[in-house]
Structure 1
Amino acid sequence: MSKSTNLLDGNIAATLTRQTLPMTLGLISLMLFHLVDSYFVGQLGVKELAALSFSFPITFTLISLSIGLGIGVSAYVAQTIGRGCDKQGIHPTALLLNLVILSFASALGYVFSRPIFSLLGADENMIVLIMDYISFWYLAAPFYAFIMTMNSLQRAAGNTKFPAAIMALSSILNAILDPIFIFGLGPIEGYGLKGAAIASLTAWLISCVLSLIYIQAREDWFEAFPTRQQLIQHSKKILHIGLPAAAANMLTPITSSVLISIISNYGEASVAAFGVGTRIESLAILMILALSMTLPPFISQNFGAKQFDRVHSAIKLTRKFSLAWQFAIYLVLVLCSDSIARFFSDSAEVHDLIQLVIYIMPLGHGAMGIIILSGSSLNALSEPKKALIVSIIRLLIITIPFAAIGGYINDFKGLLIGITLGSFLTAFIAANLVNQVIYKVKVS
């Protein structure tokens, strides 16, 4: 029998803490995966590192698609568990659906890669180098999607240790294989930039095989293949949540590109400082990102079981935690701001701007946490379109205009203040939207 962790009773704070800590370690491993790639590719030269950077919009888009589909899988399966309904055919359907979609998207990406990279400003020599890398990455993407889907299925059942272990395994394998395939070792010749993609492909393939062995030994996912009707039914439910979630994820790189374009008007030092700020941000909100992956299964199971008061209590608790935790992180960042700035740059101008970023932007991280958790909660409550609306409001309607207006009033400092104020406004809107959905469900 498939084993599910009971998320329907017990202390809410203790349950979420128990679920979130493993995912935090898993996310750290995932970040190290990409840092290791950048480190070893950087040793090849500036051109190779630039080629890796050029590939980011494509790879991030496919990763966003995979994560979005995984959100749909997790929400649908967790609600099914909460309702106590028959889960027959769900697991193979989810795995097959995501594998097919990512394979098709990868094939499409390969066909249109050259014109896309040309539009991004890469010359012919750079495109040849990029294609050397991304051609193998396209082969790896479906395996990544398969792993993420298995992780989503496990999280839906309340198991966060398995996803964290698989993410850590993939990261460790990649760290071992990167220098071997990039530079060569013994009879294995070095493949240069292409070797980084081969390392990712191999790491994800091995992780897939080991995951399947684990699943086959512990779960009953593959005892019966879904009927045609079940395939259609389950796929519709997954895509209903997964596609809007994927679209919301894909808005992030678009917004980042626009912000960098605005900031470039204030000089290279401002661009560099803002880039450092975004890297600090990814680490500063790590706990909230982990919580955004464990809160949805909790909500979905209790939503499916019609335990709406428990859902509301969990959401209120995580909002308070986000504000308190991120304020504590803000104080630490401010106290360490000089050391952090010195670590990233020897330039006095960049040093001062990095400190300015640290003094202002992390003030809004608590509000950003509420926004992220609200989006996750809306997906878990089967309101993916509202979650997408929150992302559109946050990124396109509030963040970019507030940044532009702030920059117009007070240059780079004003832009940072505008982004931070925008986070608080969006958090207020997102929280109220979630409250309305919960109230509507409770009275219906």
Structure 2
Amino acid sequence: MSRRPNLLEDNISITLLKLTLPMTLGLISLMCFHLADSYFVGQLGVKELAALSFSYPITFTFISISIGLGIGVSAYVAQALGRGTDNRENMHISAILLNLIIVSVASLIGYLISRPVFALLGADEAMIDLIMEYITLWYLAAPFYTMIMTINSLQRAEGNTKFPATIMAMSSIINILLDPLFIFGVGAFEGMGLQGAALASLLAWGISWLFCLIYVNKRENWFQGLPSLNQFRHHSAKILNIGLPAAAANMLTPIAGSILIAITAQYGEAAVAAFGVGNRIESLAILMILALSMTLPPFISQNFGAKKCDRVIEAISVTRKFSMAWQLLIYLLLLALAQPLATLFSDAPEVHNNVAMVLSILPLGYGAMGIVILSASSLNALSRPKQALTVSIIRLIIITVPFAWIGGYLDNFRGLLIGVTTGYFITALIAIYIVNKATKDKTEEQLKAA
């Protein structure tokens, strides 16, 4: 078995590459999970695809909560490893229980307020009924998803990205296999439509969670007894210190997404459907950056804990340059494939044209958006979660939404897309300044403490 990368000693670029490649492959499969939902649901009709798009801000809220809490888990464990701290008794099970409790409560609240929330987003009563067919079962699936994410975060903190990638691939394959069965049916079994898509997700995450449980119990020896109340409180406080601001920052994305959906709804269901498809393609297009944003924080946290700030500064610089270069290549590729991809998701001419428009404009700003994403991850890893939250607020609330509204006012749906893209570049410049100042301050703090 190949050894895990040494985050404190190995070559920075090579180490980040070794950590990121497995996560990229895992994220490819995870994004295919969501793209498969869009593809199969799209075959049901424009209304069903629009219903799935309306649900996206809600489902992404839960994903954001899980990711944010996972950031807290990863930073806490990785910094402890960097300091050489080996007193991590019951840390893992505390993290899993904490995140499970939070997401389970959020799922219950989400179900109770779903109908008025979708009404605020601009959905009519018939559309809300359609959305509820999907979202009700999805709420049951959310706790399984968050437990998987927590276990994956714990593994990444210790330099293991292969297992998380394997779990992502497993859940995606199961979902892709079950989607057509439950959505359309086979033989005497009638399809369940949107409910079938949600049921496929529930089973995919449930089965993957069982596999995670078996793996960590046998290989990692985590579950040797429940933590005491004091241990749970201690670990939870450390995790939430970083995880709550990180979760809040991640939740801003679906909140801003909800506002953008509401603005987009002014231009019709075809525009909403196209914007939803664009969101899913965006996640696939920036997956290398998303993978890097998941592997960079453990690297930074361990080196920060070990007081190796020079390696932290170099890692941040390398990843910024990579984001701009890589996403430029992705933009050129999507620009060339805009029309074929638009045809893949819908035969309706209006949806087709709007999807093509999305793919020819938004990807231009993906490199700048990547810098913003990596900046927020870096700040969390440096134990600066409030500054990471500030970056997210600036990007999503102060810049993106107003620019989208102004662009839409000036040039309808096309103007909205141009406004969002412009916001990416402005926020990237601000994020670079904030991260540079934070790393300088942390370096000075450690020099004074030495």
TM-score tier after normalising by the smaller chain length: 0.7 to 0.9
Instruction: Map 1:312-351 onto structure 2 (within 5 A).
Output: 312-336=313-337
The match for 1:36 is 36
Which shows bigger deviation, 259-268 or 391-400?
Answer: 259-268
Summarize the alignment of residues 275-286 of structure 1 with structure 2, pairs less than 5 Å apart.
277-286=278-287
Once residues 266 and 124 of structure 1 are traced to their aligned partners in structure 2, the CA distance between those partners, rounded to angstroms, is 19
Task: Report the Cα distance in structure 2 between the residues aligned to 1:306 and 1:218, rounded to whole angstroms.
Answer: 30
TM-score w.r.t. structure 1 length? 0.88
| Letter of the 2:233 counterpart | I
The change in CA–CA distance for 1:317 and 1:59 in structure 2 (over 3 A counts) is: same
Which deviates the most, 100-109 or 348-357? 348-357
8 Å contact kept, 2:242–2:385: yes
In the alignment, residue 306 of structure 1 is paired with which amino acid?
Answer: K
Q: Does 1:211 align with 2:220?
A: no
Normalising by the residue count of structure 2, what TM-score does the alignment of the two structures yield?
A: 0.87
Within 1, Cα distance between the matches of 2:83 and 2:296?
18
Give 1:194 deviation, angstroms: 2.9
Which amino acid in structure 1 is aligned with residue 173 of structure 2?
Answer: I
Q: 2:448: which partner in 1?
A: none
Partner of 2:224: helix, strand, or coil?
Answer: coil
- How far apart are the structure 2 equivalents of 1:76 and 1:221? 16
How far apart, in 1, do the equivalents of 2:394 and 2:74 lie? 25
The within-5 A match list for 1:243-322 is 243-262=244-263, 277-322=278-323
Alignment length (residue pairs): 442
CA contact (8 A) 1:364 1:423 kept: yes
Give the direction of change, closer, same or farther, for the CA distance of 1:321–1:125 in structure 2 (3 Å limit): closer
What are the ranges of 5 or more consecutive residues in structure 2 without an aligned counterpart? 446-450
TM-superposed CA distance for 1:318, in Å, is 0.3
- Map of 1:194-233 to 2, 5 A cutoff? 194-233=195-234
SS class of match (1:8): coil
**Structure 1 counterpart SS, 2:88:** coil
d(CA) in 2 for partners of 1:40, 1:272: 14
Mean CA deviation greater in 283-292 or 140-149: 283-292
What residue identity is the alignment partner of 2:17?
T
Mark the CA change 1:207 to 1:404 in structure 2 (over 3 Å): closer, same or farther.
closer
The CA distance in 1 between the partners of 2:5 and 2:200, in whole Å, is 34
Partner of residue 82, structure 1? 82
User: How well do the aligned residues superpose, as a CA RMSD in angstroms?
Assistant: 3.1
What is the aligned-residue identity percentage? 67
Which digits, 9 at most, give the CA deviation of each residue in 1:66-92, with x for residues without a partner? 121111111111111111111111100
**1:166-189 deviation digits (Å, cap 9, x = unpaired):** 011011112222333444557977
Query: Cα deviation per residue 1:140-172 (whole Å; 9 max; x = unaligned)?
Result: 211111111111111111111111110110111
Which one is further off, 244-253 or 414-423? 414-423
Is 2:73–2:95's contact at 8 Å kept on the other side of the alignment? Answer: yes
Query: Using a 3 Å threshold, how does the CA distance of structure 1 residues 339 and 108 change in structure 2: closer, same or farther?
Result: closer
Per-residue Cα deviation, 1:309-336 (whole angstroms, up to 9, x for no partner): 1011000000011111122323334455
Task: Give the letter for the 2:436 counterpart.
Answer: N
Aligned to 1:143: 144
Matches within 5 A, 1:108-127: 108-122=109-123, 127=128
Q: Distance in 2 between matches of 1:124 and 1:260?
A: 17
CA separation of 1:369/1:267 partners in 2, compared to 1, >3 Å: closer, same or farther? same
CA distance in 1, matches of 2:119, 2:102: 25
What is the match of residue 163 of structure 1? 164
| Cα distance in 2 for residues equivalent to 1:74 and 1:414 | 39
**What amino acid is the match of 1:60?**
F
Once the two structures are TM-superposed, the CA of residue 258 in structure 1 deviates from its matched residue by 3.4
The 1:116/1:159 distance shift into structure 2, 3 A limit, reads: same
